[in-house]
Structure 1
């Protein structure tokens, strides 16, 4: 059986980064598991007019768990909480929340992920790069913990279970400049007078060549609806008219119907761009 483990910082990250990939592999019969390193309890309600704002003020952690369960069902995947507290995103110079995920030494929180990797035995792991995708302390720590755990799951630490070697590790490259330019070109071709194009072109200039190191493109054209349902499940975090829903499905399917990744650990096969994260993997 093919087994994929996606390591994310907060509930909702799994739906905004690579959700189509998760839905696709789950639909194809792979064992797909998301681990959320934190509970998202330091987050705020980001949706105007959110109906359950009173519940969020009373029990944000509980609300985020309910939303995560709905997203899990939409994607058809398994889910595990690593159990750490959301560090929040303080202003520059302000301290992180005490005893939160980003304040815990990597070799401490990494042990929990080693135990999980050895239990689930994934051939493929996905996460963020060393920048976290954006400079949230939990995203950066998520990368650090994932890479530490993958290395240490392969040997040593016998008290954490039988060793397991992850064959391939990918980092998310969904926010690439080349993807954005391709989508803008498709929008220009379909409606050159679209009033949103100037903003899109400005965004493209700011993003530049970010994410240029794509080595794998996973076709998710058949799973965009599942991705959207998972995003909407995080109703306290994702507006109904969020930029996540900006591009029509038909435009995406024609211009850029993939989730994109960079292989950072393990051997690529054939030297070209992969279309399957499990390429070259031995199923067991």
Structure 2
């Protein structure tokens, strides 16, 4: 078993299965310990699968049901998973937007949420972390909070003076943003389906893209062999994922042919980039297995910064 460890921070149960799941399954199958930190229990989520919308057992205790779904998804991916212990903020709708519920994750003080994640980092000691970009990947308050908490915890976990009660300091060497829904990916899948005379689910989505800025991936992980594990994890979240819905509309043989990878954007790095041009092929490229000396850390830059309010994929 490799001692190179990957941690992925997510907002709700099911996020891990739609963002970077095949990459996690690939690393786990190679013997790399992989831990998903789920910040909330998804308590305020809706039942999105019409087959289960009126199921009395689910309606009686949706949070407990989602915990069981998460356990099944983690098993499908071959990873471990922990709960950070905060309450889902829900997705506010309306004009004007209603206030967020009292006590929810997005309203927690950063001192509390960052401290909880620092404890996980120092316990698991990941070499690499993944999270969401500054817009949350999409503007859900919990996703935006995950970004804030992850960025702050990346810094604080390596600081001996920060959260001393949370364990011995540990320096994560690289932090990546997930780039699951890039325009390049959606366009490639759309064109492949269109060329085969199949109805693409992405035409309307692409019509709304012109002029929007795109994320710039810096790593591309080949993981088509692990699409079956990803799909099993998606199906495990039965209340959230319709097996006849969006995530399963592209035939898997077409996806494996035209887009057999997942992409990430480096946000922070404490190790120098490896020589050479092009996208990284391994999130662990260049990492120091034994870890870094926290008394002599150097920051080697980050991915492109974007002003708040710009679009993201």
TM-score with structure 2 length normalisation?
A: 0.86
Residue 221 of structure 2, aligned match among 218, 221, 225 = 218
Q: Which piece of structure 1 moves more, 69-78 or 89-98?
A: 89-98
Residue 243 of structure 1, aligned match among 246, 264, 289 = 246
SS in 2 for 1:7: strand
1:79 match: 81
1:276 deviation in Å? 0.6
* C-alpha contact 1:86 1:101 (8 A) present in aligned 2: yes
1:111 and 1:224 map into 2 onto residues whose CA distance is 34
* C-alpha contact 2:179 2:264 (8 A) present in aligned 1: yes
1:247 deviation in Å? 1.4
Higher helix proportion (structure 1 or 2): 1
2:178 and 2:226 map into 1 onto residues whose CA distance is 18
* C-alpha contact 1:107 1:148 (8 A) present in aligned 2: no
Residue 116 of structure 2, aligned match among 90, 112, 115 = 112
1:31 match: 33
Do the aligned partners of residues 221 and 116 (structure 1) sit closer, same or farther apart at CA in structure 2, a change above 3 Å counting? same
2:173 match: 167
Do the aligned partners of residues 218 and 210 (structure 1) sit closer, same or farther apart at CA in structure 2, a change above 3 Å counting? farther
* C-alpha contact 1:176 1:210 (8 A) present in aligned 2: no
- Unmatched segments (≥5 aa) in structure 1: none
User: How many aligned residue pairs are there?
Assistant: 280
* C-alpha contact 2:178 2:264 (8 A) present in aligned 1: yes
1:269 deviation in Å? 2.2
Do the aligned partners of residues 166 and 186 (structure 1) sit closer, same or farther apart at CA in structure 2, a change above 3 Å counting? same
2:273 and 2:193 map into 1 onto residues whose CA distance is 33
1:51 deviation in Å? 7.4
2:295 match: none
* C-alpha contact 2:47 2:53 (8 A) present in aligned 1: no
1:268 deviation in Å? 3.0
- After the TM superposition, which segments of 4 or more aligned residues of structure 1 sit over 6 Å from their partners? none
SS in 2 for 1:37: strand
* C-alpha contact 1:19 1:227 (8 A) present in aligned 2: yes
* C-alpha contact 1:177 1:210 (8 A) present in aligned 2: no
2:249 and 2:217 map into 1 onto residues whose CA distance is 23
1:74 and 1:204 map into 2 onto residues whose CA distance is 31
RMSD: 1.5
* C-alpha contact 1:7 1:34 (8 A) present in aligned 2: yes
1:109 deviation in Å? 0.7
1:126 aligns with 2:126: no
2:32 and 2:110 map into 1 onto residues whose CA distance is 29
SS in 2 for 1:49: helix
SS in 2 for 1:207: coil
